Structure 1
Amino acid sequence: RPVFGPLGYWFMPRYEVGLTVVPVGSSGGLLDPVTRGFQVVNEFVSGVFLIDDKRVMIPLAQAQDMLRLVPSTILDDDDEDSGFVDPARVTMVLARAVDGVPPDALRDRIATAYNAFREELLLDPTVHPSVVPPPIGAGLQVQTWRQQQRQFIDPVEKERELMRVLFSIIYLVCAGLVLSIFWAIVYEKTRDIGILRSVGASRLGISAIFLRYGAIIGAVGAVIGLGLAYLVVRNINGIHQAIGEPAPVWSWVGAFALAAGAVGMLVWRSFSGFLLPVVLWAIAAVACVGLGIGLLLHRGTLIWDPSVYYFSEIPNHLDPVTAVTTMLGAVVFSVLGAFVPAMKAADTDPVRALRYE
């Protein structure tokens, strides 16, 4: 099937399906089911599993005819023609604005237009009062897509809030790591700090050295993290597809080959008399063997289930505001982690520091 547009496929109308609907009468009761055959002429994917799983598109006129929503004559109390016509109806109207229009603004504009349309019908003597649609709020609603699907969107938003909380904890952990590393640096550089203090360096200047160092570490880490995050987010669906399939042969064969090489290096370095290289190569060998076994036994894992998350694909849009906020948070917490060691360095007594061994 050749590709037809970015979201769908085109194929010849060779399949016919039967569609059965149950109309609802004017009194609210169910009428006899109506079945009609349709030729399948196109396939369209919206990307929302909740919609694609249970919806088909048919001509509006045929849908109205099957659901008894076609124009009909209004009868009077004597079951005679009253001269009024009940027009064709629909149960839902979807509207889309041009790019750049906020959903709330579109909703308000539609509500204003609907109220004006309803007022015209009320003043039109050729329109029977029973066919005038209800006012907004009395059986009719004008909602944005987010409001209509809030029972599905709200849990996703709560998950995002949970992720923000987890990121806050990660920020604190990173700040603690920076603090411990810088604290060790201050102790290691105590004599150098004493020399700087003895030649006239101020406390503010000493602390600024470590604070700038912390800011540079945070900025470099933020830039590297942004680059890696961009690559992962933009290719997340390909990564998910690869995880959902069995691992290729070359992957686990390569892992076992690396394990064999690590074992060889382990044996060779064991004759050097040094313990650290032996331990490192042993860890590398065990890690490669574990990776190879995991890839060999991997038969595909479905992480993103469309029936649970409602979307056929994982959203891969990188929010600039969130990205910038995350980067600024990395820099700020890195500076905060370096703050206490910087103050410790600034308070160093030059006399004691020069005698420090």
Structure 2
Amino acid sequence: MPKKSSNWLFYGVAFPLTILFTGLVSSSWWIWASAAPSTFGAKVRLTIPDGMPTQMIAQELEAAGVIRSSLALRLWLQWQSLRGSEAVSLRSGTYDFSTNQSLPEVVAQIQTAKLTEVRFTIPEGWSIAQMADLFEKQGFFAAKDFVAAAQRTSPKRRPWLPEDIPSLEGFLFPDTYQILPSEATPDRIIDLMLDRFEQVALPVYKDNQSGKPKVKVSLKDWVTLASIVEKEAVIDSERRIISGVFWNRLKKNMRLESDPTVEYGLNIKQTPENPLTLDQVRTSSPYNTYLNEGLPPGAIASVGLASLKATLDPASTDYLFFVAKYDGSHVFSRNLEDHEKALQAIDKKIQQKTPKNN
């Protein structure tokens, strides 16, 4: 009897103590495992690809220092499933985490798809080709895919788009945009930029042309000429003057003779040290306004609001020529003789600044 009693005493005390000890250890571990890895809140960006298994996601989060334990994450998901939670699965995407987030907070962020949007900025004066290179460098998609998408100019895309434009050049509004990485496709980005043009630029055109406009112009020609003004103008105070020069030349049936149109047609970029050569200026191209009268087939760059407005409100001058001083400003002339003198003076200054090779 005493022996049997001692056995009962052992099991009656030791077993509950074991359970209690195990519970305390488990509880302590869970408190540690579910807590934030750090109190400093360092930022960690992580991309979860489509179809990645939960176990691998947990391991990636642990390796990145976002959570303390991949096992704890899996256990938390199992607990949510047992409770009948609706949001149990982890969604793919790019997320910005903070190392001072607890495990439940991290899981909730992924389950509710609080994704990180990426930002990109298209400067005024950029061409479709430059945009395409940027998107490829940011890892969105191949540059050629964006160029191909920008060739689709059907009015079905936007009813206000002119029917005879060679591409969407000029209608992709320059601005800063935000988009989810998973949505960053050529067509989606083009839609964003066309929407912005419709919101910002199109009302300016409609309001101007519906009243008593200083110049009557089609939407296509407006954007085309404004893109040339955009590429020529550097100083804001000169935009309306440059616009006025081009309108004066068009009214007199003079060729525009704009260097940026030649550069666009030949896909080159001149510099003060390496200006356009005579052979380049004489090279045939639909965009060469030294050889062709009137406007080129379409725009040559994205156009900011300032140049769009300046094209509708040209300065009233009798200037017919201008030449860049390569400091952002221009010399404006009323006749060819004064223009040639300005060219010679600027060429002389450039030669004086260019170091001579011994």
- What TM-score do you get using the length of structure 1 for normalisation? 0.23
Higher relative contact order (CA 8 A, sep 6+): 1
Bigger Rg, which one:
1
The structure carrying a bigger helix percent of its residues is 1
TM-score scaled by length of structure 2: 0.23
